Amino acid sequence: MKNWLGIHLESNQPDSATPVSWVLYGGERLLAHGCDALGEVRNAGGPDAEKAEVHVFVPGTAVMLTEVNIPSRDAAHLRKALPFMIEEQLAGDLRQEYVVQVQGVVQRRPEGLANPEMPTGEVEVQVQGLSLLNAARTPVFYVNEDDEVEEALRLRYVAATRAGAAIFITQRGKQNSYNPWCHFEPFLDEGCDLPDPGPRVPPATHRVPLAPQEAEEAQAQVRLRLDRVRRPGYDARPLKEYALSPGGDALWGGVTAGEEGVAEAAPHALPASPPPAGEHGVEWGEVMHLLLRAAMVEPGADLERLAAAALAEVGLQPSLAPQAAALARSVSASDIWGRAIGSDMRLVEVPLQALWNEGVPVPTILRGVIDLIFREDGGWVLVDYKTDRLDEGGAGEAARGYAPQVRLYAEAWEKCTGEAVKEAFLYFTATATLVRAGAW
């Protein structure tokens, strides 16, 4: 006998992942049963379920029986039209304001039935399932239609929908026909009139005598309060700009020439042409800092290729790439670089922010970037790269100008980490010269 597969649907809107109970019979003999996703039932039933006749059991509340009489002479045509006839009957009780969910297949409308006036007039939905999500009471009028609504009706509807427990209507004693709310008059209960509050008298005013001196003092107080409000409560500045501003050298005693300045000769010959100066000095410095960071983080990096790309990005000639790479290799061959490589912790291009209160009118957030800092026994060692072209005064003279910046870097680092900085250096890449900016 032919096998049949029975599936029990608990929902009238299942999908392929909906769990369902199922049984598989061969005649009157139970072959298999289980509970699986709807889309996996045939696979779960095995070969016996592949060609089995399917019987679906649904709750009675989800079924609506409709009897349709089909004349025998038109049976063939009417059987094709039957789904559409049932669809129209099902949708007959739906109103325009209802919220419904429709499942079906989108298909092109038959020839001659397209509606070019509608955005979706070329297609239609062959409904396979319909659910009423929310039924609504019929409104007084449809707010989405272009028909003009009588003003009285519109006002009553607005008042009824927006009012809470009560609505208060103000009537005019005379010429009430000009009152826009006069349309409510036939609906007002005479017994609910509110008592007339009577004529309203504005509160009395008294002149206050004011002497010229009092007016001047009041104006002075206003100016004082405005000045206090407009005065900034804090400031934010680049650390380098603040350190090198007039009076910045008072933050640090500077470096002394001779004994404290430690000059380090270039480990190998530097490029013959000097680095760019003038208006391109800032861009050259950006490129050199990028190369030195790459050399420390990734020792095997292709510095010339990186330099060519960086130079083009800042508007300099890529032909300067060999010179920039040679300068970076010169720094990486220095003793201070070797100390950093051998340290237990080293950091490059460290962004730094510190709150500063000394020598400033308001608390100031100083922001900067530490080029290189590494930790040895006894504390941290800070190195700041300088790409300047040195004047006749040499590295020692330039270091005196930059000393406040390095000092602020060191103090800010100590505040942020709680650990001491034991040494700070300035490294001038143009001459491969290392200058001690003081010892702590």
Per-residue pLDDT tens over the stretch 360-399 = 788 888 888 999 999 999 999 999 998 877 665 577 777 7
Answer for the pair 426, 435: CB distance below 8 angstroms, yes or no: yes
Residue 57 maps to a domain: yes
Residue 424 maps to a domain: yes
* Residue 258 belongs to domain spanning: 237-439
Residue after which a domain boundary falls, among 62, 83, 103: 62
Residue 419 maps to a domain: yes
What is the pLDDT averaged over residues 118-142? 77
- Report the distance separating Cα 142 and Cα 157, nearest Å: 11
Residue after which a domain boundary falls, among 11, 29, 62: 62
Q: How many domains are contained in the chain?
A: 2
Give the pLDDT of residue 49.
Answer: 82
Give the pLDDT of residue 382.
Answer: 94
For the CA atoms of 207, 212, 214, 220, the dihedral, rounded to the nearest 10 degrees, stands at 130
Give the pLDDT of residue 262.
Answer: 44
What is the pLDDT averaged over residues 54-58? 81
Quote the Cα angle for 197-200-202, to 5°. Answer: 150
Give the pLDDT of residue 261.
Answer: 44
**Rounded to whole angstroms, what are the CA distances from 90 to 15, 132, 137, 283, 296?**
22, 11, 19, 76, 76
Give the pLDDT of residue 221.
Answer: 93
Banded model confidence at residue 148, pLDDT cuts 50, 70, 90 = low
Q: Which two tokens stand for residue 52?
A: 């089995």
Could you tell me what percent of the chain has a pLDDT over 90? 16
Does the pLDDT value for residue 125 go beyond 60? yes
Helix or strand run (H / E) with residue 375: strand 364-376
Residue 118 maps to a domain: no
- Report the distance separating Cα 83 and Cα 102, nearest Å: 15
Residue 423 maps to a domain: yes
Answer for the pair 172, 179: CB distance below 8 angstroms, yes or no: yes
Does the pLDDT value for residue 347 go beyond 90? yes
Residue after which a domain boundary falls, among 16, 34, 62: 62
- 10 Å Cβ neighbour count for 242? 21
Mention every residue, 6+ apart, whose C-beta is less than 8 A from residue 45: 5, 22, 24, 31, 32, 34, 52
Which range, of 123-127, 133-137, 151-155, 308-312, averages the lowest pLDDT? 151-155
- Report the distance separating Cα 220 and Cα 240, nearest Å: 39
Does the pLDDT value for residue 266 go beyond 50? no
CATH number, domain of 312, equals 3.90.320.10
- Report the distance separating Cα 398 and Cα 263, nearest Å: 13
| Higher per-residue confidence, 159 vs 257 | 159
pLDDT 10s digits, 167-216: 777 766 677 777 777 767 776 665 567 777 788 888 888 888 888 998 89
Does the pLDDT value for residue 91 go beyond 70? no
Q: Which two tokens stand for residue 360?
A: 């400033």
Residue 182 maps to a domain: no
**pTM for the complete prediction?**
0.46
For the ranges 79-93, 216-230, 276-290, the one whose mean pLDDT is highest:
216-230
CATH number, domain of 10, equals 3.30.420.380
Banded model confidence at residue 251, pLDDT cuts 50, 70, 90 = very low
Residue 370 maps to a domain: yes
- Report the distance separating Cα 291 and Cα 329, nearest Å: 9
Banded model confidence at residue 339, pLDDT cuts 50, 70, 90 = very high
Average pLDDT over the chain, rounded to an integer: 78
Residue 260 maps to a domain: yes
